Amino acid sequence: MAELLPQFTVEAPGVPGQDRLVVRPETTHQGRTYTKPTLQAFLHLRKFNDLCVSIQTEGGPDGTMPVVSFSPRFMSLFRGVVDGFLDWIKVEVDIWVQQAIVNDNFNPTSEDELHSTSCTDVFWSLSEVLTFLQGIQMGDKAHWSQSMETYVMVLCASVRHYISEISKIARHESLRLEEKAGAYMPSDVACTLINDFVMSARYLQIISGNLNIRTSALNEILDDAPLDPDEVNSGPDNFKSTGNSKANSFGLPGDQTRPSALDRQTSTISTTSAAQSLMHREMNQTSRMVALCLVGNIRMMGSRIVKPIRQIIQHIINKDSFFSSVKNLFSFGSSSGSTPDLSKSDGMIMVRTSSLPWQRKATTSTPLSAEVAEDMAPTLAYFDDVMSCAATRLYPHAVYLILEEMWVQVLQCAEDVLEAGDAKSELSLARLGESVMQLWEFFHADGQGLGIEVVQRPRIKTIQQVIQLLRAKDMEGLISMHSLFVRDAAARAFVSKTMKATGDRSVLDYLKSTGD
C-alpha cells in the first residue's frame, strides 16, 4: 500500500476511450504546500473520488447514459485504497501532530485569531480527511460506517496527542509573568496556549456535531450554545477562525447522509468523550495555574506595590482602627445590613472586554465598608488592570475561566486566614466579612463578571457561616455545622482547623470522642 499511495493507477470501467487513470501527487492546494505523505495521499483519494462522482452523474464523454454501478473489482480496489489511507493515518498521526507543534512559535495567528497555527493546521487536516470520507457516494454503507469509526479513533488519538504536548509547554509558561500594560501578566505563549485549548474545544465540538456525537463532556468544555448552520455546513475552502466571535466558520464538511447506527456506537462515543474530558481537564489546569500565579504574586510597577491577597486580608483585619466597636456599624453580608439576594441566577455571562467595575455603590457605604474599600482599592484596581489586559489577549471563554479560578484562589486565601486564627476579635471578623463581600461584588460585577451560580459557591457560604458563628462565639453551632459537612472532606477539614485555631479544648475533645 505504501507504494500505491504516492502515485497509484486505477482502472475506471465504463468510461469509453479512457480505461486507465493515473493520479499524481499535488504539491500545493489552496495556497498550502504539503510534503507529508498522509496529506499527499489524501489529495490522491479526493481526485479519485471526484472521478467516481463524475462518472456517476455525468456519464461518458460520448454522451452515453451515466454509469450508476461499478464492478466488484472496482469496489474492492476503492475499499482497499480507503482502508490503506486510514491505516497510514493511524501510523503517521503522532508525527503529523508533532511536526505541527515543532513548526509553531505559539504566537497569535493575527489580531483577530488569538490561537496559534498548530491548532488550525491539526484540525484543518482532520476536517479534510472527514470531508473525503463523508463525500463517498459509492453506496457501501457498511464500509462507510467502518471507515468512520476508524476515523473517530484517529481523531481522538490526534486530539489527545496534541493536547498532551501543548499542556507540557503550558505548565511551564503559565508560571512565567511578563510586564504588560503596567502590570505583570502571563506570558504571550501562555495566553496563546490557553486560546489553543479553547479553540481546540470548539473545533472538536463542531466535528463531533458533524458525526452526530453529542456527549455530556461537550457541555463541560464550553457553554452549550447551538452551532450556527453556516459553521457546520461550510466547506474546507473556508476553513478559518473568526477571532473572538462566538460562532466561527471552520470549514467542516456539509451535512451528509449518515447511517444512524453511528450514534448508537457506545465505544465511539466513549472514545470521543475521553478526548473531550482530557481537553477540559488540561484547559482548567492551565487556567488554575495562571490564576494562582496572578493571585499569589501580585505585583505592580510604579509607586503602587500590591501584596498577595492573603497579606492584604491579614493587613485589613489586624490594622489599628479608630473604631471602638463595630456594633451598629456593620452587619455581616453587606454594608447595608442585609445579605444580597442570591436566589436570582444571572447565568453564565461571558466577561466583557472593557474594565470590570469593582467599586461599591456609595449609597450603601458605612464607615467600616469605606475603610475596607480604601484598603482593598489598590488590589481590586490591580485585578481590574490584569483582567482588562487579559481581555485583549485571550478569547472570552478563557478570560472567564481565569477569572473563575482567581475567585477560587481568593476564597482559599480567606479560608487560610480563618484557619490560621488570625481573625479573633469581633472587629477583625467584621473586617474579614466585609473584605470577602467586596471581593464577591468585584468578581460578580453586577452580572457582567462571574455568574451568580459560580461566584456564590458553597465555599463562600461556609466562610460566611463560620464568621457569623465565631463572632457570636457559638462553638456549639460550629460543632453542629461540622456534623453537617461530615461527608464533605474539604469542608470538614476547614471547619475543624478553624475550631482548632480558637484553642477551645472542649471542642477538640468533642470531635475526638465522636471518632472524627
3-class SS at 409?
Answer: helix
User: 476, exposed or middle or buried, with CB in 10 Å at 0-12, 13-18, 19+?
Assistant: exposed
Q: What percent of the chain has pLDDT over 90?
A: 0
* Residues 95 and 57 both lie in one domain: yes
In residues, how long is the chain?
A: 516
**DSSP β-ladder status, 32-33 and 28-29:** antiparallel
Q: Are residues 21 and 64 in the same domain?
A: yes
In the prediction, which pLDDT does 319 show?
61
Average of per-residue pLDDT values in the chain:
62
Average pLDDT on 467-485 reads 71
For the chain, what is the domain count?
2
Give phi and psi for 52, each to the nearest 5.
Answer: -60, -45
**Is 87's pLDDT higher than 60?**
yes
Own/partner contacts of 429-432, CB < 8 Å, gap of 24 or more, are 429/317, 429/467, 429/470, 429/471, 430/326, 430/330, 430/332, 430/368, 430/471, 431/316, 431/317, 431/368, 431/372, 432/313, 432/316, 432/317, 432/467
pLDDT, position 73: 59
Label residue 54 by pLDDT band (50, 70, 90). low
Go through 451-467 and write b for each residue having 16 or more CB atoms within 10 A of its CB, e for each that does not.
bbebbbeebbebbbbbb
* pLDDT for res 222: 35
Mark whether 40 and 139 lie in a shared domain. Answer: yes
Statement to judge: residues 384 and 268 lie in one domain: no
Mean pLDDT of 456-480: 76
The answer, yes or no, to whether residue 201 has pLDDT greater than 80, is yes
Residue 2 banded pLDDT, cuts 50, 70, 90: very low
Express each pLDDT in 127-170 by its tens digit. 877 777 776 655 567 777 778 788 888 888 888 888 888 888 88
Question: By residue range, what is the domain housing residue 416?
Answer: 298-473
Same-domain pairing of 226 and 312: no
pLDDT in tens, 347-357: 222 232 333 33
Answer positive or negative: Cα dihedral of 407, 411, 417, 419.
negative
Of 280, 312, 340, which one is at a domain's C-terminal end? Answer: 280
Q: Is the same domain home to 175 and 99? A: yes
| Helices and strands in the chain, H and E counts | 17, 6
Domain end point (choices 217, 246, 280) = 280
* Domain finish residue from 458, 473, 488: 473
Greater pLDDT, 45 or 514 = 45
Q: Are residues 87 and 164 in the same domain?
A: yes
**Model pLDDT, residue 42:** 57
Is the same domain home to 351 and 392? Answer: yes
207 vs 361, higher pLDDT: 207
What tens digit of pLDDT does each residue of 305-320 get? 445 666 767 677 666 4
Q: What is the pTM for the complete model shown?
A: 0.60
Check whether residue 459 and residue 356 sit in a common domain: yes
266-287 mean pLDDT: 68
Q: How many CB atoms lie within 10 A of CB 450?
A: 24
Yes or no: say if 170 and 190 are a contact pair by the CB < 8 Å rule: yes
- Residue 272 shares a structural domain with residue 304: no
